[in-house]
Structure 1
């Protein structure tokens, strides 16, 4: 008997405490049975310290749902053949109860149940759930519950593989769906500044994407990786990861993907302080976007966020990093003028950056008004926005410590913190 290092590492990467993992397992079980589970701190301790070495039944499925990984990958002994047969029944019930993907059919008394056939309709239902994750991310962004839900849905997409027979094409789509959910968990962790968790999700997503052979989801994962490393200050890794996305043949088939890859490369150049490379990248990104067919089919995640407003948003980030505050302000106004209504997170981020660009140009009053227009929900709950506004306050104090604007902002920030208590 010994400590389960794999499970402890997975727990740490998701940022869960023991009681939080027990709660997530209970939630998974509630979806399975309709009743609240009884997993507790003791359950998790037994899993972590090695007392439970081969979890089966509801425990196994709840764990795999929360982490989106097999029980063996979590450091446990593989289940026996008998346990696998029992888990197969539970897993089918889990998929049906949780996602309404596998339709139940009435079986006449005395007849044997026929194997379930998984088809394109099941994949479409998964894609509907994925669209819900995307929409939630654009409204809130960076929240741990989005990350956990997306990771759980990845596990459920994999569970569907075991619930019946399917063509190779459908199985490829299921792996792509699992990878897509994982990439959303990765993005939520990046947006929330939980980088250890983001890296774990990235590794799982890359593995699933390879099994799917889906070029679009590979692009998304590697492009996200570039953004993650940029936020971490690892500019060489950021450029290398983004280049993997840009090297996919998808960029040659659809200029919209080429545009996104170039724009994110421009943001990386900006963070690295390369002005000429930044300007070239954004020029080329605009040219590629102008060439793209607006009616071409693209995945839901691409259609949901990448447009002219996002191109301006990435340019805003790059030029702010370069210290070209006038150009950054221009891109901020262009972005905010063309943002779609559902992009609440993007609006808060771009508004915070606009305030900083105005401040650095000495426009104190407009900067204060802009910063105070960021929604309080975003200012209190979104880690990136909260961090930007904190830096804004520090810069204001450094540039004009005795100004009326500095006093106004200090009082506003204090009131905002109190409102969040």
Structure 2
């Protein structure tokens, strides 16, 4: 069986940094470009290719693969039906009926993909990198506004695949190739964060693994910090605090934290949230103190990635302190951090504003301030509450605690009616 393995495909994937899942997604995207319908491959499909169980993919899939790799299928170790492996030195003639059918579906784009020799060689340069970086900034803005919607996750994944496809579209300097891998890692990290924010944790772990591999190819310390820092958040959300602390330790030891205290500030603040999950109040206070010291040392004039925007003025530090103190049950301190974070958040950061408002309502309820707590919770726009999983979960939990705290209160009845008329799942 091993003699039938597709060694050529395995070698190409290893050389270009593709896993089975990432190649499946890239080919699916190319199928969508060619036919208008996203492909249906997954990681197991690619593993079947590598194992030699599929010797000759279907026409649409095959041309899409050639588009992604820039190579004919025979050069990737595939063998046409009816041919022995030894006869693959020269590409065989295409089946005419199958070829005509696919050309009709894909129109001129397919013809271009099937005849790459007619396309002039492309030089990947800094303009391509700048274009990808602009798209990444758009993803960050969408995240700040809408949070973890599946559409943001899909878009970020598609852009990561686009960046990887760009690597195969022409020649480039080593420096530019590293930048492009960095862009792909950045997009994957945004897909990962969207999945975390949307509580789609299995998808988040898949994106995490892809992002970590791409970050190593990029050798970009800033994006490596982001990925491992998000990994800590992911482990914290799924209830694995030891792994959360370990992942965040990796982030805090990335070189960029020693070069720029702003990164160190974020690392310490997220470490505080991880410590809160273990109930260690002393460690939380120590980590937050280190975060504040780092923020004081940071140069506000340095150029930093767009995703660091909330760290610059302390909004992210206040938000993470709020989450930590709320988890510890220190409701008075949590309320102070909530007000501080809401004052610092930029207007377009609607997701963070709504989430911290929900946390503020919890902090007020924890102090038995029922009337302001209900008013705070009701101030969150219903559209955001209904469509963002983390905010909906926070408000649902608020409703449960409100009924326990004041089961007969008119305010509890008002909250129930408000939730019902909003048509949300926050009751």
Q: What TM-score results when the alignment is normalised by the length of structure 1?
A: 0.78
Between 293-302 and 364-373, the greater mean CA deviation after superposition = 293-302
Structure-2 separation of matches of 1:168 and 1:48: 28
Deviation for aligned residue 1:64: 11
- Residue of 123, 131, 142 corresponding to 2:137: 131
Conserved 8 A contact 1:54-1:78: no
Distance 1:187 1:165 in 2: 32
- Other-structure match for 1:348: 354
Of 189, 193, 197, the residue aligned with 1:183 is 189
Aligned equivalent of 1:327? 333
Shift of 1:60: 5.6
Give the corresponding residue for 1:55.
57
The offset of 1:39, in angstroms, is 6.2
SS at match of 2:421: helix
Distance 2:63 2:270 in 1: 38
Question: How much does 1:59 deviate?
Answer: 2.8
Q: Displacement, 1:309?
A: 1.1
Q: Does the C-alpha gap of structure 1 residues 144 and 54 become closer, same or farther in structure 2, counting only changes over 3 Å?
A: farther
Pair 1:391 & 2:397 matched: yes
Counterparts of 1:317 and 1:323 in 2: how far apart (Å)? Answer: 10
**Structure 1 unaligned regions, length at least 5:** 2-12, 15-20, 71-76, 87-93, 98-103, 105-110
Change (3 A) 1:318 1:38: closer
Closer, same or farther: CA 407–113 of 1 in aligned 2, 3 Å: closer
- Distance change (3 Å), C-alpha of 1:202 and 1:419: closer
Which residue of structure 1 aligns with residue 249 of structure 2? 243
Q: 1:37 to 1:295 in 2, by over 3 A?
A: same
Q: CA deviation at 1:231?
A: 1.1
Distance (Å, rounded) in 2 between the aligned partners of 1:179 and 1:61:
26
Instruction: Say which SS state the counterpart of residue 37 (structure 2) adopts.
Output: coil
- Which of these two proteins has the greater Rg computed from alpha carbons? 2
Distance apart, 1:325 and its partner CA: 0.1
Going from structure 1 to structure 2, the CA distance change for 1:377 and 1:158 (only over 3 Å counts) comes to: same
| Distance across 2 between alignment mates of 1:172 and 1:393 | 49
For residues 222-255 of structure 1, what are the alpha-carbon distances to aligned partners after superposition, in whole Å with 9 as ceiling and x for unaligned? 0000011111111100000000010112111100
Structure 2 residue 37 is matched with structure 1 residue 37:
yes
**Partner of 2:230 in structure 1?**
224
TM-score using structure 2 length: 0.77
1:197 is displaced (CA, Å) by 0.7
Deviations 1:354-379 (A, max 9, x none): 00000111111100110011111221
Match of 2:291 in 1: 285
Structure 1 distance, partners of 2:201, 2:342, is 28
Q: 1:409 to 1:113 in 2, by over 3 A?
A: closer
Residue of structure 2 equivalent to 1:234: 240
Deviations 1:30-62 (A, max 9, x none): 5x35x633868xx99x96997966536643686
Pair 1:357-2:359 in alignment: no
> CA contact under 8 A between 1:64 and 1:155: conserved in structure 2?
no
**CA contact 2:318–2:337 (8 Å) conserved in 1:** yes
Q: Which residue pairs with 1:199 in the alignment?
A: 205
Q: Displacement of 1:300 after TM fit?
A: 2.0
Q: How many corresponding residue pairs? A: 366
- Contact 2:228/2:248 (CA < 8 Å) preserved in 1? yes
Structure 2: gaps (5+ residues): 2-20, 70-75, 80-87, 95-105
Q: Distance in 2 between matches of 1:180 and 1:332?
A: 29
Aligned twin of 1:301 = 307
1:47–1:261 CA distance, 2 compared to 1 (3 A): closer
Q: Deviations over 1:253-293 (max 9, x none)?
A: 10000000000001111121111111111111011001100
CA separation in 2, counterparts of 1:214 and 1:140? Answer: 27
Task: Quote the offset at 1:217 in angstroms.
Answer: 0.6
Q: In the aligned structure 1, how far is the partner of 2:214 from the partner of 2:425?
A: 42
Alignment check: 8 A CA contact 1:356 1:367 kept:
yes
Query: Structure 2: how far apart are the matches of 1:286 and 1:197?
Result: 33
Name the CA shift for 1:368/1:38 in 2 (closer, same or farther; >3 Å).
closer
1:94-173 → structure 2 map (5 Å cutoff): 114-173=120-179
2:215 aligned partner? 209
How far apart are residue 206 of structure 1 and its match? 0.5
